[in-house]
Amino acid sequence: MAKFLPQIIIFSILSFAAINLVSAESDGYARTLDRKLFGLKKKEKLTHFQLYWHDIYSGTHPTAVAVVSPPSNSSGTLFGAISMIDDPLTEGPELSSKLIGKAQGFYGSAAQEKAGLLMVMNFVFMEGKYNGSTITILGRNKVFSDIREMPVIGGSGLFRFSRGYVQARTHKFDTKTGDATIQYNVYVLHY
């Protein structure tokens, strides 16, 4: 018995660890996991980013492209129009300022009576410690309001399990080209 004691102790420790990794709750196809396995033992941080989103329709290299035109009987809100974006995110309001990342996704006119966009985009960071991480934004953008608020619904990399909100404010809009520079203040809780 004494010669098997180390093996019994190791087996007991491994069994105990396995039991603690998965709780008793299980439906066969889903189970509750220990939060610590996913780095959720750390305290949540609140991070604020201020950056500028450049939506460019004009020129030889646009970053926003209309992929669906509104029907001819559309209201003045361009209901039904959809644009794909790969917009630069910069540190300052000038397009020439430091590139922080890209806003990739799409938005569509989702309101018939008052202008309102459905925004679906990832802020893909390309700079500093957040390089390669993303923040996902999905929500309604009331484009003619001074400040628009949209939810952060998740992310990847350093922003796994994140949540929060963004506030968007128009910095510059060109009615002839449709080009816009929008200041985004992002408030995100993450681990």
Dihedral class, residue 161 (left if φ above 0, else alpha if ψ from -120 to 50, else beta): left
The pLDDT of residue 93: 97
Contact 52, 90 (CB under 8 A): yes
- If one counts every other C-beta atom within 10 angstroms of the C-beta of residue 58, the result is 12
Find the mean pLDDT for residues 136-161: 95
The pLDDT of residue 136: 98
Contacts of 88 (CB under 8 A, 6+ apart): 53, 54, 63, 95, 99, 102, 103
Per DSSP, the three-state class of 6 is helix
Find the mean pLDDT for residues 161-189: 96
Structural domains in the chain? 40-190 (2.40.480.10)
The pLDDT of residue 35: 73
Find the mean pLDDT for residues 59-68: 94
The pLDDT of residue 69: 84
Find the mean pLDDT for residues 142-161: 95
**How do strand 99-109 and strand 117-125 relate by DSSP bridges?**
antiparallel
The pLDDT of residue 146: 95
